A and B are shown apart, each in its own frame.
Chain A
Amino acid sequence: MAGREAKGERVRLICRVLDGEGIPVSDAMIEIWQADSQGKFNHPADPGSECADRACRGFGRLATNEDGTCVFDTVKPGRVPGNGSTLQAPHLSISVFARGILKRLATRIYFAGDPANDEDPILALVPSERRPTLMVRADPHNPGNWKFDVCLSGKDETVFFDV
């Protein structure tokens, strides 16, 4: 998703997909779309794309393994402008596809503990008790590793967006 030359803080995202019974989904495909470390997209709709980091393509796609897991190596995205005068917290846009998912499920990954989360206009639309489902958490034993579970349904159902 981001070459070795890409600027910014390296992060390893360990994503796992679980079904409503907590069983790992081993036939899912996850796609990620994100800004570079400065919050710029390599895309003409971004007025800042001229100075986007060419080494950060921003797109990744992986199939989950038997444990329902896949691992993306990337950089932490910067803050992207929101609508109006807002500034979004660092986040990645996620699509989940699998057998039994008739229409792609879209969600976002935010970084737990990032103070910018409090100012994020999209998180503000999510009931506070469900916001934790959108947080990727640092693995205390492995610096740079972050873990995110997508729960398709059930008690800890991830917040999904109508994009």
Chain B
Amino acid sequence: MPRVVPYRRPDPESQPASLYPPYRATAARAPRRPLIVLPHTLSEVTGPVYGDEDISDTDRDLTRQHAGEPLGERIIVRGRVLDDGCRPVPHTLIEIWQANAAGRYSHKKDTHPAPLDPNFTGAGRTLTDADGNYEFVTIKPGAYPWENHDKSWRPAHIHFSLFGNAFATRLITQMYFPGDPLLAFDPIFQAIPQERARQRLVSKFDLESTKSDWALGFRFDLVLRGPEAVPFEG
């Protein structure tokens, strides 16, 4: 029999419920029946594996993907991917996507009347190094309006997508910026019940990675579920 080491389950208060009425789109899209707890099998503790050959140099620098430089405030976003046992998650794929400095996505469904930037697509990816570290160079995204409630504007954010080592560790989340007054009014951010967990989505200004005359640094660490400490005979 295979030895299957299951992954720990997160504190439910740290995760959004599917249905959160202030976020209107959840009404028609949230399941109403309780989830069925799935004991982890080989199908859940495995997942796609990526290698360096899948990534090119400009994938992690979103300011160098076109002929010219994009407009906006250049930033470095750096951090570490750890599991909830504080072990680094090495060589794992991180993908990001975001709006440009004016708050416009380079996507046909985005009709916000803010300018597109021909030098900015807003999509990047990288692999963590052996110690779980990653770094992106990009532009600080702008806030943008959305159809949810009167005067609804999304706080500036960068979407983060991580695979970790298994189907069980798949995570898509959003990184926010410190001190953003829109966070208090954002139903997507507020859907997370626990204040402490919400604050984990807010990056920190990072003087260490800030570069003189070039870019501001922000630090954003991510924690994925870790394997249960003691393997059991599956």
Residue ranges of A at the interface with B (Cβ–Cβ < 8 Å): 19-21, 23, 25, 27, 31, 33, 35, 41-48, 57-59, 80-85, 88, 91, 93, 95, 97-106, 108, 121-122, 125-126, 152-153, 157-163
Contact = CB atoms under 8 A, between A and B. Distances in A.
Nearest to A91: B43
Contacts of A27: 109
Contacts of B109: 27
Given A35-B43, A105-B18, 19 more contacts: A43-B49, A45-B4, A45-B5, A47-B3, A48-B2, A58-B48, A59-B48, A88-B41, A93-B43, A99-B25, A100-B24, A100-B29, A102-B16, A105-B31, A126-B36, A157-B32, A160-B33, A160-B36, A163-B38
Interface in B21-59: 23-33, 35-49
Given A33-B167, A100-B25, A122-B41, A160 B35 contact: yes
Contact of B2 (A20, A25, A46): A46
A161 B172 contact: no
B102 interface: no
B43 A88 contact: yes
A12 B35 CA distance: 28
A44 B227 CA distance: 14
A100 B36 contact: no
23 contacts: A19-B28, A33-B167, A41-B43, A45-B42, A46-B42, A46-B46, A58-B48, A82-B41, A83-B4, A93-B43, A101-B29, A102-B26, A102-B191, A104-B170, A104-B171, A105-B18, A106-B38, A122-B41, A152-B29, A157-B32, A159-B33, A160-B33, A162-B36
A97 B172 CA distance: 9
B229 interface: no
B175 interface: no
A100 to B, nearest CB: 3
A81 B42 contact: yes
Contacts of B40: 163
B2 A81 contact: yes
Could you say which interface size class chain B belongs to? 35 or more
Contacts of A126: 36
B59 to A, nearest CB: 17
Contacts of A161: 35-38
B45 A45 contact: yes
Contact of A163 (B25, B33, B168): B168
Given A45-B45, A46-B2, A80-B43, A102 B18 contact: yes
B166 interface: yes
B28 to A, nearest CB: 4
Contact of A33 (B36, B39, B47): B47
B17 A157 contact: no
A57 B167 CA distance: 14
Contact of A80 (B16, B29, B41): B41
Contacts of A101: 18, 26, 29-30
B49 A42 contact: yes
Among B1, B46, B234, max chain A CB count under 10 A is at B46
Contact of A41 (B9, B17, B46, B172): B46
Q: Which of B25, B40, B165 gathers the greatest number of chain A CB atoms within 10 Å?
A: B25
B48 A159 contact: no
Contacts of A19: 28-29
